[in-house]
Amino acid sequence: MKNNNVIHIEGLTKMFGDFAAVNAITFEVEKGEIFGFLGANGAGKTTAMKMLIGISKPTSGDAKVAGFDVFTNAEDIKKNIGYMSQKFALYDDLTVKENITFFGGIYGLSRQRIKEKSAVLIEELRLEDVANKLVGSLPLGWKQKLSFSVSLLHDPKIVFLDEPTGGVDPITRRQFWEMIYKAANQGTTVFVTTHYMDEAEYCDRVSIMVNGKIEALDTPKKLKEQFKVDNMNDVFLKLARG
Amino acid sequence: MSISVSHISKSYKKVKALQDISFEVKPNEIFGLIGPDGAGKTTLFRVLTTLLFPDEGVAKVMDYDVVNDYKKIRNCVGYMPGKFSLYQDLTVEENLTFFATIFGTTIEENYDLIKDIYVQIAPFKDRRAGKLSGGMKQKLALCCALIHKPQVLFLDEPTTGVDPVSRKEFWEMLKRLQQKDITILVSTPYMDEAALCDRIALIQDGKILEIDTPEAIVKHYPKQIYNVRANNMYKLINSLKDYEYNHSVYPFGEFVHYTDSRTNFNPKDLIRYLETKNLSNIHIDKTVATIEDTFMELAK
């Protein structure tokens, strides 16, 4: 494992009976990189990600995430990563502050640290006026930005984002990507799974999974050149349709 | 007109979901409502499909009033809600038979209309709807919305959560339905799907920002947009935002879309400025506006 790699995967495989949901995938992700993990519904993205975040044991292969082995140190991985999903993010019936305190506590931050983090985060996101309002009452875009910040509370080495900006208005979504660039610039690795190809265009490198295998992996620019098309959507269609 | 909406407003307690909305959809048109979550798209669908009374205004579908003639409208429209609303514990075939029966028809009678779509899910006709994949649920929902041969089809975010391959197939299906004389009102949060509609309305916070063909909407964009890239995206965005002459700065994939507030903008000045910010590999090229650029300019 090179010093600069925070994810190192080799021949990672997950079998369900005779079916290889993830079939010997190999790749590396660097510190501070924004890495896009794409694939059609059912291509194996979710299964692969579950192995990377330490909640599903691979059938075979090697995988080190944030310096820890997924076979033997899954619990350490969980402490060193952040995770944000579009579907489940925060508790709607807790306030903004309560959510921050709750997740801070889960990640083992001290009360003092939570207090400090909470103040900075609320100021940065300009949530002062709604800090004591229920998260459920906030617009989707605010929730998404808050949820991303909460996933970074414990300064994880890697943050996993599952379709982070689906349905959000175009301006808010750009504010969201600016937050991602900021985190990456500070050295946090950002691992994004999505099937929206315009999100893929923001990534430093992108991998595309088809039927359990990684069929392409490069920068969006090079992939577009390789497949002689103008956008990632067409790259995806060419690969997935064969 | 297949759909005519005139000064419709609807509020939920404090939230103004729709504010003075007016537009018309011509027979046989694919008309897109393009806007993010919370824009009011679903409320508008519910008003037009007679499931919700508007507070103000008049809306007609196939010349029937949504309040007074609601029974007639329900017979001549098909509605595919955003949330999967079929019976999860009925099979594919049972769901379809159920909807056909409700409308006093049979699968056989209108099979022609759904054939192209139904053949793709027919191998799973004995599977419970709840056990289908996202793409298949969507196809089944479309079949159920079509089984009584509606004149107007309402599709509320049919492609949300669906992968690019299934999305492309779905739009191809809509184009074929259009050729069978069905008018389609479709909503989507994805701006790239706007180009596939005949006309679109951009909608945000319950208000329509603009209505026109997708081509005309991008042509109305008031400024020259430049694609800017450099060695560090985060520094580039911050530097451009600090630049005193910027009009707008938005990340767009591997580029930043930049517009300048001056009429005599020279990209060389911007390159020099960015160099003073320690950026390198700076490239600035002219580019054309997309629907998203227009949306953001109007929503500003």
Note whether B195 and B266 are same-domain residues.
Answer: no
- The token duo for B49 is 């499909």
Say if the Cβ atoms of B250 and A174 lie within 8 Å. yes
**What CATH number is associated with residue B152?**
3.40.50.300
Whether residues B172 and B212 share a domain: the answer is yes
Residues B175 and B241 in one domain: no
Give me the percent of chain B exceeding a pLDDT of 90. Answer: 87
Both B288 and B235 in a single domain? yes
In degrees, rounded to 5, the angle at the alpha carbon of residue B87 between the alpha carbons of residues B82 and B93 is: 110
B295 interaction partners in chain A (CB closer than 8 Å): 170
Q: What is the secondary structure of A76-125 as a DSSP string?
A: HHHHHEEEEESSS-S-TTSBHHHHHHHHHHHTT--HHHHHHHHHHHHHHT
Q: Does B57 touch chain A (CB under 8 A)?
A: no
Pick the more confident residue, B50 or A164: B50
Boundary residue ending a domain (B186, B203, B219): B219
What is the structure's pLDDT at B83? 86
* B53 and B142 co-located in one domain: yes
Quick one: pLDDT at residue B174?
A: 94
> Reduced to 3 states, what is the DSSP secondary structure of residue B145?
helix
- Rounded to the nearest angstrom, the minimum Cα separation between B265 and chain A is 24
B250 in A contact zone (CB under 8 Å): yes
Split into its structural domains, chain B has a count of 2
How many CB pairs below 8 A link A and B?
90
Is B267 near chain A, with CB under 8 Å? no
The pLDDT of residue A160 is above 60: yes
Does one domain contain both B206 and B257?
no
Contact B254 A181 (CB under 8 A): no
Q: Given a cut of 80, is residue A3 above it in pLDDT?
A: no
Same domain (yes/no): B68, B207? yes
Average pLDDT in chain B: 94
Contact across the interface for B299 and A181, Cβ inside 8 Å: no
Residue A88: pLDDT band (50, 70, 90) is low
Q: Which domain holds residue B256?
A: 225-299
Q: Quick one: B137 and B10 in the same domain?
A: yes
Question: Which among A34, A86, A172, A178 is the top mutation candidate for probing chain B, defined by the most B β-carbons within 10 Å of its own β-carbon?
Answer: A178
Q: How far is A54 from chain B (nearest CA, A)?
A: 25
Shortest distance, CA A182 to any CA of chain B (angstroms)? 6
Please classify residue B105 by burial: count the beta carbons closer than 10 Å to its beta carbon, then call 0-12 exposed, 13-18 middle and 19+ buried: middle
How many CA within 13 A on the CB side of residue B89? Answer: 0
Nearest-by-Cβ selection for A167 from B37, B134, B250 = B37
User: At B279, which CATH number?
Assistant: 3.30.70
For B164, the closest of A42, A181, A237 (CB atoms) is A237
Does one domain contain both B186 and B234?
A: no
**In angstroms, rounded to a whole number, what is the distance separating the alpha carbons of residues B10 and B205?**
12
The ranges assigned to domains in chain A are: 5-241
Sign for the pseudo-dihedral over CA of B97, B103, B108, B111:
negative
CB of B12 less than 8 A from some CB of A: no
Kindly determine whether residue A169 and residue B299, on different chains, have CB atoms separated by under 8 Å.
yes
**Nearest chain B Cα to A197, which residue?**
B164
Tell if the CB–CB gap between A41 and B164 is shorter than 8 Å.
no
pLDDT in tens, A44-87: 998 999 999 999 999 999 999 999 999 999 999 999 999 998 77
Task: Tell which CATH architecture fits domain A5-241.
Answer: 3-Layer(aba) Sandwich (3.40)
**Considering CB atoms only, which of A167, A168, A198 is closest to B192?**
A198
| Partner-chain contact B36 A170, CB within 8 Å | yes
- Contacts with B224 (C-beta within 8 Å, 6 or more apart), sequence order: B259, B260, B265, B286
The C-alpha of B97 sits at a distance from chain A's nearest C-alpha, in angstroms, of 28
Q: B160 CB contacts (<8 Å, ≥6 apart)?
A: A166, A167, B82, B188, B189, B190
Residues on chain B touching A232 (C-beta within 8 angstroms): 253
- A89, pLDDT greater than 80: no
pLDDT of residue A157: 96
The reply to whether B180 and B266 lie within a common domain is: no
Query: For residue B90, what are the β-bridge partners?
Result: none
Distance from CA of B233 to the nearest CA of A (A): 7
**Are residue B113 and residue B238 in the same domain, yes or no?**
no
Burial level of A187, CB count in 10 A (0-12/13-18/19+)?
exposed
- Contact criterion met (CB below 8 Å) for A73 and A241: no
Clarify whether residues B20 and B127 are in a common domain: yes
Pairing of strands B30-34, B199-204: parallel
Kindly indicate whether the ipTM for this predicted assembly is greater than 0.90, answering yes or no. Answer: no
